[in-house]
Amino acid sequence: MKKELIPKSQNLSQWYTDVIIKAELADYAPVKGCMVIRPYGYSLWEAVQSFLDPLFKLQQVQNAYFPLFIPESYLEKEKEHVKGFTPYTAVVTIAGGQELTERLIIRPTSETIMYAMYQKWIKSWRDLPIKINQWSNVVRWEKRTYLFLRTSEFLWQEGHCAHANHDESMKTVLWALECYKNMYQELMAIHCIAGYKSDAEKFVGGNKTLTVEILMPDGKALQAGTSHDLGQNFAKAFNWTVQDEEGNDLHPWQNSWGLSTRSIGGLIMAHGDDNGLFFPPNIAPIQVVIIPIFKSDNQKEVMAYAEQIRDKLSDFRVNLDIKSGETAGFKFNQWEMKGVPLRVEIGIKEVKDNSITIVRRDDSKKAMIKSSEMIQKIKDILEEMQIAALSRHRKFTEENTHVVDSYGEFKEIMKTKRGFIKAFWCEDESCEIMIKKETKASTRCLPIDAGEKRGKCIYCGKPAMHEWIFAQSY
Amino acid sequence: MKKELIPKSQNLSQWYTDVIIKAELADYAPVKGCMVIRPYGYSLWEAVQSFLDPLFKLQQVQNAYFPLFIPESYLEKEKEHVKGFTPYTAVVTIAGGQELTERLIIRPTSETIMYAMYQKWIKSWRDLPIKINQWSNVVRWEKRTYLFLRTSEFLWQEGHCAHANHDESMKTVLWALECYKNMYQELMAIHCIAGYKSDAEKFVGGNKTLTVEILMPDGKALQAGTSHDLGQNFAKAFNWTVQDEEGNDLHPWQNSWGLSTRSIGGLIMAHGDDNGLFFPPNIAPIQVVIIPIFKSDNQKEVMAYAEQIRDKLSDFRVNLDIKSGETAGFKFNQWEMKGVPLRVEIGIKEVKDNSITIVRRDDSKKAMIKSSEMIQKIKDILEEMQIAALSRHRKFTEENTHVVDSYGEFKEIMKTKRGFIKAFWCEDESCEIMIKKETKASTRCLPIDAGEKRGKCIYCGKPAMHEWIFAQSY
């Protein structure tokens, strides 16, 4: 592997695809718009699963599996929903050598097929809530695709719950969003803004969409996970009622929430530098890489010691690089590019001194430490790096969140440095449309903790109650 | 849920689908031949994953994800392979609102798409072996389907490795088979026969297929996991060469191995009785169910004690059934049907005595034990039940394995009691075809430990070297 990475500071977009391919996170598939997630990239997704799945189970959400195929007529049951997804569907028309009488849609999301089953299973309030999640692949055919961030097939989890009343359903909606926020902060060291989507930006078929938005280094926002209050819309569209406690018919209140492999794209882009990736220790597939440095006369001694060190560091995700035919310098660059948080160098000096030399990926600081103290030291340093990475991204987000009160300033910012803009908006869709047309910035969300204020719409000047977050987006 | 189960002893096939639906393991999906795996059934698959995945990782197999879609031309690269799968494919012809120029096959298996990528990535012997596994859905359009055992879409894992030589590749083939065998024995308490498939029954495109076969209560065999030595067939079909140590071109030696949700069908069928399912404790989603039995004047006391017991039994997968509106007797039947290995009954007598009453699902033995001793006792009983279940299935398999040396006897057995038949076969395909035509029994495998013997083909009487296992199959 040659190291010819476009510097991140010079061309983010090129760096992004470059580093994904060169670090072997993913590759382009032979099918347009699809990607192969390679082991190094897939292990990031496994880490996301390992973080979220136990949280779901603690909340009595159970995993299940629903079919890949949705009969066309099912997708059509909810009017807004079908309108939103139809342009992006992949359609099976032939199966088992025969033309199908009803075409099958590859699921772009599973509301319709899942709720048809819920309707069959749940007839009484006693059986509510039902809380089901599935880890699966979905397909939304995209014209312009981007590794991880927008691919025609992607992996995700989709949670789908139904409750006896709206309050309970909203609690689940907010809980799911909280899970996502925690995942980004604790696992990925990414700061995010949680809030409500505008009506124009919400999930098609739902009542309210909540979102976590993260700011990328180029000042664009990434919608990084969503949780939808579906109200009774789907229950009504399916004509699904259950008996309530008094024996009356009740349309259950539903919600759905999803987070996808897109999150991995956010992780890659949020961190890293001109030299390549940086993975926060909590999610790093390899936390510590050991590189032995030897000459022919001390190879055996150095290698034996390096193996000992590796065995002692088994609390960490550790890798001893024994590949032959590559210089130590080449290896340094390679593992730097691959974003491993801590490099351990072991040469004859370290052997004699019963020490190791450590080099941090984030600030390149180098230190020689006694092997007797290394476990605690490394633990401390990894924790420090995790915290520092989150602080860095939070600081970046704050520094690039601009409170503006003139539309001129708004336009200027979107033309130059971009970032989040906090501005009053009257919540009239026509202003939202014009702002997007003129600045490419859309409403990202109304932060959950925004509260009511009094101001004037940044576009039309009419009274406005809330400061919204605007940004250009991926 | 009403308990109106067809007795297993009376009609296995009806019992099987009945118990799956009634115990809420799965349900029919609105798409023909597809199923919904409900949470109780899906947790069985999660247990299979939790057993196998760490074994794979210990062997340096890494998880990855390849696209759902295979361009039609890719599937066509290996001639036998495409012939074998084409009748069963689902085909996407429209995507994003447009007719596709090249039709996309929903993966029936991923050899072709994965090896196209391997070819791109691996150019040198230094990068071999490559060992990748994926957990995914696949589609093989079936005319006659059967819950879990044969569905048009199913879940599986598929491992795909490439090695520098045949020996190493064969080691992986055998290792994978061993993983499957261990999973059946240790997790599912199912005895299985590991062996080689005949050429007619092997994987299309491979050289040799190894299989684990399990005997079902009706005397039919279930092919329960396979591991394929692909030789250099795919490498040659793709024209994939790597440089070997001497700088010469080498076609890598490949293997693939898979185990699917079909295994869950085997689990359901192998165990259980007229009263419903029986899950061996190691795989049981719920190992211990606690049923409180109370009257209105002692409800509070009994419930409080039952909750205490549940909390103390947190080493086990435990469930306290607090559902109102159902009698204790109804609950007994329901949890029996759902296959929970151990029932704990708690009434006022148990509260006063600081005891619990336990009832085993396998032999219905009942005992009252002191709560101070219950953790160890339950641990012991669950272990005992696991071992007993495996012994039972091994004994059943042995008692229904018939060594025959006349074709008349062969036919008679297949007409009446069925089971495995051990018989010499000359390994000529024409005999295999005639036997299948006349008895519906196919060669299941040549057991790995069979060794060479001298005998006469059960069909044609010509000299034969090996005793094969024959059976009718699912």
Q: Which residue among A237, A270, A303 closes a domain?
A: A270
Residue B32: pLDDT band (50, 70, 90) is confident
Asked whether residue A129 falls in the same domain as residue A95, the answer is: yes
Does B123 reside within a domain? yes
Using the 3D structure, point to which of B327, B349, B382 is the last residue of a domain: B382
pLDDT tens digits for range B393-429: 999 999 999 999 899 999 999 999 999 999 999 999 9
Domain contains A309? yes
The confidence score (pLDDT) of residue A143 equals 87
Task: State the nearest Cα–Cα gap between B34 and chain A, in angstroms.
Answer: 7
- Residues in B closer than 8 angstroms to A94, CB to CB, are 90-91, 93
User: Does the reported pTM lie above 0.90?
Assistant: yes
Query: B149 and B177 in one domain?
Result: yes
- pLDDT tens digits along B129-145: 999 999 999 999 998 99
Q: Do both A297 and A353 map to the same domain?
A: yes
How many domains, chain B?
A: 3
* Residue B424 maps to a domain: yes
Chain B residues whose beta carbon lies within 8 Å of the beta carbon of residue A106? 68, 92, 106
Round to whole Å and give the CA distance between B60 and A372.
Answer: 29
B315-369 pLDDT, tens digit per residue, is 999 999 999 889 999 999 999 999 999 999 999 999 999 999 999 999 999 999 9
Asked if the structure places residue A316 within a domain, the reply is yes
Together in a domain, B306 and B427: no
Q: In angstroms, rounded to a whole number, what is the distance separating the alpha carbons of residues B168 and B254?
A: 10
Q: Which of A311, A293, A314, A290 is nearest to A302 (CA)?
A: A293
Give B370 to chain A, closest Cα distance, Å: 30
Return all residues near B258 (Cβ < 8 A) that are at least 6 apart. Answer: B109, B156, B157, B158, B159, B225, B226
Task: Yes or no: say if B233 and B115 are a contact pair by the CB < 8 Å rule.
Answer: no
Residues A94 and A215 in one domain: yes
State the ipTM, two decimals: 0.96
CB contact under 8 A, B64 and A36: yes
Judgement on whether residues A223 and A335 belong to the same structural domain of the protein = no
Same domain? A84 vs A208: yes
* pLDDT in single tens digits along all 474 residues of chain A: 445 799 999 999 999 999 999 999 999 999 989 999 999 999 999 999 999 999 999 999 999 999 999 999 998 888 888 888 989 999 999 999 999 999 999 999 999 999 999 999 999 999 999 999 999 999 999 988 999 999 999 999 999 999 999 999 999 999 999 999 999 999 999 999 999 999 999 998 899 999 999 999 999 999 999 999 999 999 999 999 999 999 999 999 999 999 999 999 999 999 999 999 999 999 999 999 999 999 999 999 999 999 999 999 999 999 999 998 899 999 999 999 999 999 999 999 999 999 999 999 999 999 999 999 999 999 999 999 999 999 999 999 999 999 998 999 999 999 999 999 999 999 999 999 999 999 999 999 999 999 899 999 999 999 999 999 999 999
pLDDT in tens, A48-94: 999 999 999 999 999 999 999 999 999 888 888 888 898 999 999 99
Same-domain check for residues B420 and B467: yes
CATH code of the domain in which A415 resides: 3.30.110.30
Tell me, yes or no, whether A279 lies in a domain: no
Place of tokens 């929430």: A257
Token pair of A236, please?
């009504």
- Give the residue numbers spanning the domain of A198: 12-270
pLDDT at site B80: 86
Answer yes or no: do A166 and A102 share one domain: yes
CATH number, domain of B318, equals 3.40.50.800
- Whether residue A277 lies inside any domain: the answer is no
Q: Are residues B185 and B250 in the same domain?
A: yes
Place of tokens 């995507």: B95
Place of tokens 């012997």: B125
β-pairing, A98-106 with A69-71?
Answer: antiparallel
Distance, in Å, from the CA atom of B417 to the CA atom of B400, rounded to the nearest integer, reads 8
Q: Are residues A149 and A249 in the same domain?
A: yes
pLDDT tier at B1 (50, 70, 90 boundaries)?
very low
A327 and A262 within one domain: no
Per-residue DSSP letter, A184: I
B387 lies in a domain? no
The whole-angstrom distance between B128's CA and the closest CA on chain A is: 12
- B133: nearest CA in chain A? A39
Using the beta-carbon criterion (under 8 Å), do B91 and A86 form an inter-chain contact?
A: no
Summarize pLDDT for A278-289 with one digit per residue, the tens: 999 999 999 999
Report if residue B118 sits inside a domain: yes
Core vs surface per residue A348-367: b (16+ CB within 10 A) or e: bebbeeebbbbbbbbeeeee
CA distance A439 to A472: 8
Of A42, A63, A121, the CB nearest to B46: A63
- Any idea what the CATH number is for the domain that residue A264 is in? 3.30.930.10
In 3-state terms, what secondary structure has residue A128?
Answer: coil
